[in-house]
Structure formats: structure tokens, C-alpha cells
Amino acid sequence: MGVDHLAHKELLWKLSSTYLPNDVASLQRSLVRHVEYTLARRRYKLDTSSFYQATAHSVRDRLIERWTDTQQYSAKKGAKKVYYLSLEFLIGRSLGNAVSNLGLRGAYAEALRQIGYDLEDIMSEEKEPALGNGGLGRLASCFLDTLATQNYPAWGYGIRYKYGMFEQRIVNGKQVEFPDYWLTDGNPWEVERLDVQYPVRLFGHVREFQDPDGNTLYAWEGGEVVMAQAYDTPIPGYGTYNTNNMRLWSSKPSHEFNLASFNAGNYYGAVEAKERCESITSVLYPNDATEEGKRLRLKQQYFFVSATLQDIYRRFKKNVGRGSTTMKNMPDKVAIQLNDTHPAIAIPELMRLLLDIERLPWDEAWEITRKVFAYTNHTILPEALEKWPVPMITELLPRHMQIIYEINHRFLLEVQKMWPNDTARMSSMSIIEESSPKMVRMSNLAVIGSHTVNGVAMIHTKLLKSLLFPDFLLMWPEKFINVTNGVTPRRWLLQANPALASIYTGMVGPGWVNDLKRLEPIKTMAQDPQFRQRWRAAKQTNKQALAEWLYRSMNIRVDPNALFDMQIKRIHEYKRQLLNVLGIVHRYAEITQATPEQRKTMVPRVHIIAGKAAPGYVMAKNLVMLVCAVSEVVNSDAACRDLLKVVFVPNFNVSLAEILIPASDISQHISTAGMEASGTGNMKFVMNGGLIVGTMDGANIEIEQAIGEHNMFTFGAKADQVAAIRRKMAHDPPKIDPRLHRAMGMIRAGIFGKPDDGAYNQLLDAIDPRKDVYLTAHDFPSYLGAIAEADAAYQYEEKWTAKCIEAACSMWMFSSDRTIREYAAKIWNVEPLPFRPPRHHSER
């Protein structure tokens, strides 16, 4: 009595519904306020790093306004949501992206300038979160950018690793890995959600019991319980008010768990167990090495999946009972995309929730599950397909193992019906591999438990159907589709390449950023000499900037007028950095033997190679060593001075890619045909006005179709020839090209040093003409041919520029905006839900 709740509410509403002003003076006040009060640095330590933190907090405030509005709006509308489950998000730096997407770049730059700071300098203070390995993780982040930009109600879910991808340093010519503790200075872009925590069970046992009606039920009990703590990062769209969420989980001990151990008097045991809980989300696994048997990795996968599904489930269940919504409607509100098989344990986990908690009958639960999940495959390399030992899953997730067996049993009955007594088919389609120990094939589980399976480039989807899942294709021909990858033009053009972006905006207005098709008409400008001149100037600006960067950070001088050739990606045998190095060694030999007349005809080149080798991947590490050694020798040989430089840039990451890609003339995407699912670097390079030397593999094929074959330098065996070539070489070894023979001879002779462990010989032995798995020798002559063609073309400056313009302006289909529209239409069945922004109070 006497308490006026309504008045309180009204006042609160009024107080909390105002919006932050974005004029320069207000931004300055907000910056200084954050330095003084958030960082508690009143009147001292007003350095660049403080101002980075303060700027980040100031921008974050503005993100939060949009983010909470967007989330409240979509909850109110009850819209169907997409959940993108990924063990990796390679976000890159956030400040530049946020101010650009919010349309506040100019205002912040001016606000900072007036108080003596440069936005660019401040942006480079940010430590990049490297929570992914490579293409797969970066794709996830490009997708989040597009989902927000296109107003789709969508959340990303993943793990907040304490240590991201290791930091690579080159010590005495070798890769050395250092832990990447990216949270040293805190992370202003995330919001710790102490109100969002879920328990996650591991180990334990399954109790079978009967309900009053005599039905058999199961309960998973005992074991350990770990808590999942949510950290949210707002994901702003470009040119829209909509702001989505990326929720990352961190593990911590549960109170209940601690108490039990402490009470038992086992103090040290309890502390140890606490450490064990926290270790679950400690470190990102660098992939590419065999994953098999890594129990912690399986724990990570389940931990993240369990927390995520509890969260999704809770959100959905708020609607159940409202109107006519029942559990059956889950697929109308929830679309879950599995980014590779890493989160595939979500399939039995949702079944467990529906069966054991919701107590639905199997068939009903299974129907819901299959309608909710879709699976993207990102590789057909057998060594990268995940399998978990049955004993390990049985120990860690006993109820899930039961459910997997049941899914498999019911599935195999279908197989039996379709192909009676076909044991070979049964065993290849089974989720369980009958090896010793038995293994759970996560890809089969993902295919069986999803309504749609997609590959990431046309050729990849074709191989997926014909090599990986041919029987599943016969069973469910409609289930398999292609959705070619794409990259966000916001980060990879607008932000990374302001020189080119301003040319585009000058020509067609700013709309191209959200609609890359608008660049198409610029293609005709390739015929305009003045336009070509402007284009070259932009490229030159970027090359100059890179040259300065290389000098500043590596003390290497390169000539910005040389052809910049780059191969920057994870180091892997199938990506064939070795082919590149052998080509460089060949060029080196040619240079040292050239007459002065011949030298004049050679194209000066700077070769840049960058990428990390998985710590346990010996061949990849050997390769890094060889590149570094070749660079040492070549760069100090006077004969090469004006003609050849080789640079290995350590610690390749998103921020480095943003500097390198806009400065490239040629990039190499030269995997053995059929082995690179898609590649996404290839797309970024061409968008930035570089050309490709590449094999007919992954998205290269579609890029060539889009830009025209005269604008790409292709070579090598085609995917459908590879198997026959491999078979033939075993009994009829081909003759080695004399140029390759010479290059290999130089390496073996020790011109680039002779490491004690025979590292180089190990690399070269793999090119044995009888078992040249990656077709390095086979493709070498045509590779040199493609490089020579590129060199020849580069000498005709005007023609070269025309090629670059035509190619770059034909890339619209490789924008992730196109990709996401396809996912939305063909897989998720979701619609954009734009939120009309409230008018800022400063504008009222």
C-alpha cells in the first residue's frame, strides 16, 4: 500500500529509454569519461592504449543500445532464429569493424583527432582474438557479419578459448609456437553474463526406470558437473540498426561440485578438480594434425553443445504453451547450422532432451531433431573426418552413446529395407565403424540427423556426393545441396582497402557495400585509360603501405614496383607451398645464370609466404623452415637484388591478411585438384584487384567462370584426372622435369643449408615419382607455365590493369551476402526482421 509501482515503472522507463548522442563533442565526453571512470585513470596515463580501451568502451555502449533493442524486438515478434554453431570464430579486430558498421568512423576519427589521437593508431592497439584455425573459422565470422547486415535474427554460438591459435615466431629459421593469451588487457567487446550459466554433466551413468504407465525411461546421473558461463559479443550489421549476438561459453567449476569435494576433506583434490573444469575451454586445438583420441577436444565439443542447446531450448520453451505452440513447433522457431561435424554431438543431445526431459516418444523426437539441424561439410580429406572411439564416448557421455546406437539401429533397418542383405553398404553407412576400438563416425551421424547437408563449392559438393556419401545420396537425393562460400565485403574491401573502396563509392555510390552487384557496370571502365590510372594508383598505395610495413616490422626492403606474389594460408601438403618454393628456387637458378640481356626481360618479383603449421605436423614445419632458408639465401644474393625477394611473414592472422591482400598482384591457390573444399582467400584477393595463379580446385573454378578464363592463370591436373594419374605413376613412374630436377638438386646439395634432421630431404622424398601423392612433379611444368604467363601479362601494364578491373568487378557472387541468402532460402527458411530504429534523443 502506498507504493506507486506504476510511477516507478514510468520513471524507470523514461530514464532507460534515452539514447546516446553521436556528435563529435558527445563522443569526446564519452571517451574521456571512460578513461576516467571505466579505466580509473583520471588525469594520468592518457596514452594511446588507454584511449584504445576508452574508444572500445564508448563504441560498445552504442553497440549495446542497438543490440538490446534488436534482441527485445525479435523476442517480441517470436521470429524464427538461426543458430550458427561453430567451434571457431576468427573474428579479427573489432574496433574498426564496429565504427565502420555503425557509420561512426568519421565522427570517432574527428573526436580523437581533436584531442591529439589518431584512430588508425588506436585501432592497431587491439589484440586480435584468434579463436579459429583458418578458413572455416573466418567463414563463420563473415557469416555473422552478413546475418546482422541483412537483418536476419541469428546468433553465433562458440567457445571463449582462453588461448587462441598459437602465436608463431621464427627462431633460428624454424617455427616456434607461443601461447596466445589474448585476454591480457581484458576484452572490452564482450559482456560477461553472470545471469546466464548452465550446468554441463560429464561421465556418470544411465539409470533405467519405469514411469507409472510402464514406459521405460532413462536418466543420466552422477559424474561431474561443470558450469558454462556466457560471454556475449554484439555483432553489428552495416547500414542497419540490427545488431546480433555471438555467445561464447567459458567453463568454470560448479558450486555444488566444489562443495562436495571440500566437504569430503579432500582439499587438494578439490582444487585440482576445479582446475580441470576450467581447462575445458582453455585452448583452441590447432587442427590439421590427427584429432583422434583427444579427450579434451570431445569434452569441449560436448560442453559447448550442451550449454548452447540448453540456452536455445530455454528461449524456445518460453513460447510453448503460448497459443498453440508445442514442442513440435521447435523447427518453426529454431534452425541450427552445424559448422562441420565439430558440434554434431548436438544431434544426440537434442534427442536426449526431448526423450529424457521432455519425455516425447522416439519418433516425435527424431522428427523434430531432423527438422532442426543442417550440416555443412568443409572437407573430404579422410584424415580430417572426425571419429571418436566408442569407449571414450561411452565413458564421457554414456547416455549419448546409447542414443547414437539407437539412431544407428533404426537407420540400418531403413538401409536393410532399401538394400536387403547388402552388408558392404550397411557397414559403410553405419555410424559405427567396426574397427578396434569401434569408432563413431561423426559425419555419418551428422548426415543422418540433418535435413540438409551442404558442400561449400560446386566441385566440393560434387565430390561429397560421389566420394563421401554416395549411398546416402541414393537414399536421400534431395538432402545434398551446394552453397558456395563467400566473404564479407565490409571487412575485406571497405575496411581493408579504403583506396579501392573510395574509387567504388565515387563511381557507384556507397550502396555497393551491401550489394556487390552494383560494381558490375564498372567493368566497362577497364577500357578507360584514366580510370586504369586511378586504379593502379590505389594498388600502388597499398603496395607502398605494405613495403613500409615490411621494413618497419621485419627490416626487409622490397620494391613496391615489383610484382607482389602471395601465398598466405595454413601450411599443408595439399595446399602445396612446396610447389611454390620449388618454383622460386627455379627462378633463383635462372636469375643466377642469366645474361644481362636476359635479366632485362625478367619481371622483378616479391614472393610473400605466410601461414602457420600445426605444431605436430612435421612436414608442414619442414616447409616453413625451407621457405625461411630460401629467403635467407635469395635475399642476400647480390644477383637477385632487383629481381627477387622472398619473405616469410610470421604469425599470419586476420589483421595481417587485411594488410597483405589489398597489396597483392598475384596470389597462389594451388592445391592438388579435388583437395581444397573451397578456399576463401582466393575470393578476397580477386575482390581487391589481384589475379590468381591456381588449379581447377575449390572455388577457383567458380571464380574463373565469373571473371572469365582470360583473367586467371590456371594449370595442373583436373580433379577427375588425379586418381588415374596416381594409379599410373605407381607402375609407370613419369620422367621428372629437368627444371624440377635441378631445383631439387640445389636443395639437396645444401645451397639452403642442410638441417641435421634431414628436413628438406623428407620434403623432397615425398615427390618420389612413384608415390607423388600431391602431384607436385606432375603439375610442376604447367605450374611454371602459368607463372610465366602471369609474368608476361604483368609486363603490359594497361592490359594487366584491365584484367584486374574486370575480375574485381565480377565478384558479386562471392560476397557472403549471396551465400547467406542461399542458406536462408534453401536451408533455414528464415526471413529478415529489420528493426526500425528509435530516433535518437539528440535528434528529437
Known catalytic residue: 803?
no
Among 57, 247, 333, 378, binds ligand GL7 (CB under 6 A): 378
Residue 698 lies near ligand GL7 (rule: CB under 6 A): yes
Residue 298 lies near ligand GL7 (rule: CB under 6 A): no
Known catalytic residue: 294?
no
Least CB distance to ligand GL7 at residue 303 (A)? 20
What 3-state DSSP class applies to 525? helix
Quote the Cα angle for 784-786-792, to 5°: 100
Least CB distance to ligand GL7 at residue 440 (A)? 19
Q: Give whichever of 300 and 678 is closer to ligand GL7, judged by the CB atom.
A: 678
Nearest residue to 233 via CA among 50, 54, 67, 56: 67
Residue 678 lies near ligand GL7 (rule: CB under 6 A): yes
Among 483, 677, 719, 802, binds ligand GL7 (CB under 6 A): 677
CB within 8 Å of 829: residues ≥ 6 apart? 80, 335
Position of cell 548436438?
346
Residue 611 lies near ligand GL7 (rule: CB under 6 A): no
Q: Give whichever of 136 and 353 is closer to ligand GL7, judged by the CB atom.
A: 136
387, 341 Cβ separation under 8 angstroms = no
Q: Give whichever of 100 and 175 is closer to ligand GL7, judged by the CB atom.
A: 175
The residue range among 527-535, 678-686, 709-717, 723-731 that interacts with ligand GL7, by the rule CB under 6 A, is 678-686
- Would you tell me how many other CB atoms lie within 10 Å of the CB of residue 211? 9
The residue range among 377-385, 403-411, 445-453, 760-768 that interacts with ligand GL7, by the rule CB under 6 A, is 377-385
Known catalytic residue: 826?
no
Residue 180 lies near ligand GL7 (rule: CB under 6 A): no
Nearest residue to 126 via CA among 223, 53, 195: 53
What is the rounded distance in angstroms from the CA atom of residue 638 to the CA atom of residue 645?
Answer: 11
Residue 674 lies near ligand GL7 (rule: CB under 6 A): no
Quote the Cα angle for 308-312-313, to 5°: 110
Question: Which residues within the stretch 463-492 sit at the binding site for ligand GL7 (CB under 6 A)?
Answer: 485
What is the rounded distance in angstroms from the CA atom of residue 427 to the CA atom of residue 381?
Answer: 20
Among 287, 444, 542, 711, binds ligand GL7 (CB under 6 A): 287
Residue 135 lies near ligand GL7 (rule: CB under 6 A): yes
Residue 676 lies near ligand GL7 (rule: CB under 6 A): yes
Residue 133 lies near ligand GL7 (rule: CB under 6 A): yes
Known catalytic residue: 669?
no
Residue 455 lies near ligand GL7 (rule: CB under 6 A): no
Residue 679 lies near ligand GL7 (rule: CB under 6 A): yes
Helix (H) or strand (E) holding 250: strand 243-253
Using Cβ positions, the residue closest to ligand GL7 within the complex turns out to be 135
What is the rounded distance in angstroms from the CA atom of residue 170 to the CA atom of residue 726?
Answer: 35
Q: Give whichever of 379 and 542 is closer to ligand GL7, judged by the CB atom.
A: 379
Residue 61: HSE in the Cβ half-sphere, 13 Å Cα cutoff: 17
Helix (H) or strand (E) holding 387: strand 387-389
Catalytic residue among 160, 333, 400, 570: 570
CA distances 333 to 59, 78, 85, 819, 823, Å, are 32, 8, 16, 21, 16
Q: How many residues bind ligand GL7 (CB under 6 A)?
A: 17
Question: Which residues within the stretch 481-540 sit at the binding site for ligand GL7 (CB under 6 A)?
Answer: 485
Residue 344 lies near ligand GL7 (rule: CB under 6 A): no
What's the per-residue H, E or C state across 310-374?
HHHHHHHHCCCCCCCCCHHHHHHHEEEEEECCCCCCHHHHHHHHHHHHCCCCHHHHHHHHHHHEE
The residue range among 17-25, 317-325, 676-684, 723-731 that interacts with ligand GL7, by the rule CB under 6 A, is 676-684
Catalytic residue among 587, 684, 778, 803: 684
Query: 721: which strand partners?
Result: none
Known catalytic residue: 378?
yes
Known catalytic residue: 575?
yes
165, 136 Cβ separation under 8 angstroms = no
Residue 139 lies near ligand GL7 (rule: CB under 6 A): yes
Question: Using CB under 6 A as the criterion, which residues of the chain lie in contact with ligand GL7 when the complex forms?
Answer: 133-136, 139, 287, 378-379, 384, 456, 485, 676-680, 698
Tell me the catalytic residues.
378, 569-570, 575, 680, 684
